[in-house]
């Protein structure tokens, strides 16, 4: 999916919601345990109940890898169940030397190799340009580079001084020379709303993937005040607040209600910004 | 495996060689293609032919993930085939917020969850302390943190000024407060032999995992001159130069010959440093 198509989906659905599919077996509604693959059933019902309210789904690969081979099977089948009008994000935080990143690109972008072809993958910037470029060699695929994350550890390096700027600022400036906003997005944590104004100066046209709204405490209106651009430019991720909205048999309906509340808030914010 | 046990293995085998198991189907000897899982057969024969000459095996997860579910199965069976006296490294370059890194730790450290239990995992430092700590919560398991890598992109951020030092220096200094040298190692590329003296000032007691000897052009003697410490403190990784030493039916013997040459050079270097 290219940038214009993503913006069209945002306008069509009046939403820039991304739903994080990060399931843990112990937290699943008990009635799902009778299925052969309870996590897959959980994901399928969540997707079926919410796909008209969101524009993206983001499985975090750790939650699947933790279950070994059967978890990887669940990830493949989850990807296969996501409707084709959704922007799909493999939240994998990968990155290695060039020939190895090329293999990760096969893993997440090449359906013939791995039975999955996500639109995008999250990548860690520490190893620099040649760790990122192999992903960009795939046409119409995206790198979502970690810039400023929402966790406490973001203070350890990302916000330290680097060449008279902060490291995350340097990551944005340097990586913007590797690809333009048609293939590159940034991860920016919503717990840092005051930083969005600064980030928009460095990356006015890029989409930003924003985790941390909901369970992690971010404020949607504050993020939008500084983060919206002329093609929306934001994908707001919510995971736990939606997928665990209820632990009962009504979990999918409850997830839909949470997603609907966010979609309605987003619709108002898009209208106020004259993007609808 | 703890640090003392690792040093004992190094003394026993007179070797600090780590063999990288990074197989690509297209590069395999043709006679292996008749097997149901040619990559697993390749890995098994390599391990059987070399395990008395090395102290560690390091599968890079990208090469398995690129083949989807069947690749993940090969990774599990490869880990299961590695003798228990070997130090095993999941070269996975992971790292995410705390609850997600905890899931990656399940994936690579908890055999009940994933059917694999590596001794260690490579981790990217960009997300800071809480992205690393969940791995350290597993007793006797190790984090091998990226410090100074061997690829061209290491110049983009790792060697940039950060708080009046270089970023990789800051990564070493800061992370050394998270764990001691009993659970933490660093990745330091062998193409940077002149930097080892500096790194040993910052991390005198830590083991360093050193890729880049062989196909990537690093010099073993130069690395040892500055890198050896009183418990050896080095794991030197070689992959392509060993695993692809021959593309014929004699690939395992050829791999053994390459490994033996490195082991013999290492034995001399250990003797010269009075570590045997």
pLDDT for position B191: 74
ipTM, 2 dp: 0.96
State whether B152 and A160 contact (CB < 8 Å). Answer: no
Q: What's the Cα-to-Cα distance from A186 to each of A149, A169, B67, B161, rounded to whole Å?
A: 10, 11, 27, 23
- Per-residue pLDDT reduced to its tens digit, A212-229: 776 555 689 889 999 999
List the strands of the sheet with A161-162, edge to edge: A165-166, A161-162, B161-162, B165-166
List phi, psi (to 5°) of A216. -90, -5
Nearest CA in chain B to A65: B107
Beta strands B184-188; B208-210: pairing state:
parallel
CATH number of B65's domain: 3.20.20.70
Q: Which chain B residues have a beta carbon less than 8 Å from that of A157?
A: 125-126, 128, 162, 167, 170-171, 174
Q: Which chain B residues have a beta carbon less than 8 Å from that of A24?
A: 103
For B157, the closest of A60, A104, A171 (CB atoms) is: A171
State whether B158 and A104 contact (CB < 8 Å). Answer: no
- With a pLDDT cut of 90, the percent of chain A lying above it is 91
Segment A177-188 mean pLDDT? 97
Tokens of A184: 């590159």
For B67, the closest of A63, A113, A153 (CB atoms) is: A113
How many Å lie between the alpha carbon of B155 and the closest alpha carbon of chain A? 7
Tokens of A210: 């924003």
Tokens of A148: 């400023």
> With the CA atoms of B22, B26, B28 and B34 taken in that order, what torsion angle do they form, in degrees rounded to the nearest 10?
120
DSSP string, A161-212: EETTEEHHHHHHHHHTTT--TTTEEEEE-GGGGGGHHHHHHH-SS--EEE--
Q: Is B161 exposed, middle or buried (0-12, 13-18, 19+ CB in 10 A)?
A: middle
Which among A14, A44, A84, A93 is annotated as catalytic?
A: A93
Q: Which chain B residues have a beta carbon less than 8 Å from that of A158?
A: 126-128
pLDDT in tens, chain B (276 residues): 999 999 999 999 999 999 999 999 999 999 999 999 999 999 999 999 999 999 999 999 999 999 999 999 999 999 999 999 999 999 999 999 999 999 999 999 999 999 999 999 999 999 999 999 999 999 999 999 999 998 999 999 999 988 789 999 999 999 999 999 999 999 998 777 778 999 999 999 999 999 977 655 568 988 999 999 999 999 999 999 999 999 999 999 999 999 999 999 999 999 999 999
Q: Is B131 exposed, middle or buried (0-12, 13-18, 19+ CB in 10 A)?
A: buried
- Per-residue pLDDT reduced to its tens digit, A138-149: 999 999 999 999
Mean pLDDT, chain A, integer = 95
Q: Which chain B residues have a beta carbon less than 8 Å from that of A21?
A: none
Q: Is B93 an active-site residue?
A: yes
Residue pair A245/A255 in contact by the 8 Å Cβ criterion: yes
Domain coverage including residue A173: 3-272
pLDDT for position B164: 84
pLDDT for position A254: 98
Distance, C-alpha B144 to centroid of its chain = 8
Q: Which of B59, B63, B125, B128 to mutate to test the interface with A (most CBs of A within 10 A)?
A: B128
> With the CA atoms of B257, B263, B269 and B271 taken in that order, what torsion angle do they form, in degrees rounded to the nearest 10?
-120
Size of interface A-B (CB pairs under 8 A): 200
- Per-residue pLDDT reduced to its tens digit, B82-140: 999 999 999 999 999 999 999 999 999 999 999 999 999 999 999 999 999 999 999 99
Q: Which chain A residues have a beta carbon less than 8 Å from that of B69?
A: 69, 72-73, 76, 115
Q: DSSP strand E in A51-152: where? A: 56-59, 87-94, 120-123, 142-148
Nearest CA in chain B to A240: B99
Residue pair B21/B255 in contact by the 8 Å Cβ criterion: no
State whether B67 and A156 contact (CB < 8 Å). Answer: no
How many other C-beta atoms are found inside a 10 Å radius of the C-beta of residue A180?
A: 11
List phi, psi (to 5°) of A185. -125, 170
State whether A174 and B163 contact (CB < 8 Å). Answer: no
pLDDT for position B125: 98
State whether A151 and B131 contact (CB < 8 Å). Answer: yes
Q: Helix B129-136 to helix B98-109 angle, to the nearest 10 degrees? A: 30
Distance CA(B3)–CA(B182), nearest Å, equals 6
- What is the count of structural domains for chain A? 1
Instruction: Fill in the DSSP letter of residue A143.
Output: E
Identify any residues that bridge with B89 across adjacent strands, giving them in sequence order.
Answer: B120
- Per-residue pLDDT reduced to its tens digit, A109-156: 999 999 999 999 999 999 999 999 999 999 999 999 999 998 999 999
- Per-residue pLDDT reduced to its tens digit, A40-87: 999 999 999 999 999 999 999 999 999 999 999 999 999 999 999 999
């Amino acid at each position: 999916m290219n940038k214009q198509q993503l913006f069209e989906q945002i306008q069509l659905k009046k939403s820039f919601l991304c739903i994080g599919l990060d399931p843990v077996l112990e937290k699943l509604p008990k009635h799902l345990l009778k299925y052969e693959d309870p996590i897959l059933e959980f994901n399928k019902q969540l997707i079926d109940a919410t796909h008209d309210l969101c524009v993206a789904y983001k499985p975090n690969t750790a939650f699947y890898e933790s279950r070994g081979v059967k978890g990887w099977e669940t990830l493949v089948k989850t990807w296969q169940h996501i409707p084709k009008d959704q922007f799909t994000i493999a939240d994998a935080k990968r990155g290695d030397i060039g020939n190895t990143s090329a293999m990760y690109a096969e893993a997440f972008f090449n359906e013939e190799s791995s039975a999955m072809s996500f639109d995008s993958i999250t990548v860690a910037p520490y190893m620099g340009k040649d760790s990122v470029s192999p992903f960009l060699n795939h046409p119409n695929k995206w790198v979502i580079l970690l810039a400023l994350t929402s966790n406490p550890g973001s203070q350890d390096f990302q916000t330290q001084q680097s060449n008279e700027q902060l490291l995350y600022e340097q990551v944005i400036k340097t990586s913007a020379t590797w690809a333009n906003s048609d293939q590159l997005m940034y991860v920016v944590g919503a717990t840092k709303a005051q930083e969005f104004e600064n980030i928009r100066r460095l990356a006015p046209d890029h989409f930003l993937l924003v985790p941390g709204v909901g369970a992690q405490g971010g404020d949607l209106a504050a993020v939008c005040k500084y983060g919206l651009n002329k093609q929306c430019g934001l994908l707001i991720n919510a995971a736990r607040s939606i997928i665990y909205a209820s632990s009962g048999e009504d979990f999918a309906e409850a997830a839909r209600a949470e997603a609907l509340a966010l979609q309605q808030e987003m619709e108002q914010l898009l209208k106020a910004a004259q993007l609808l």
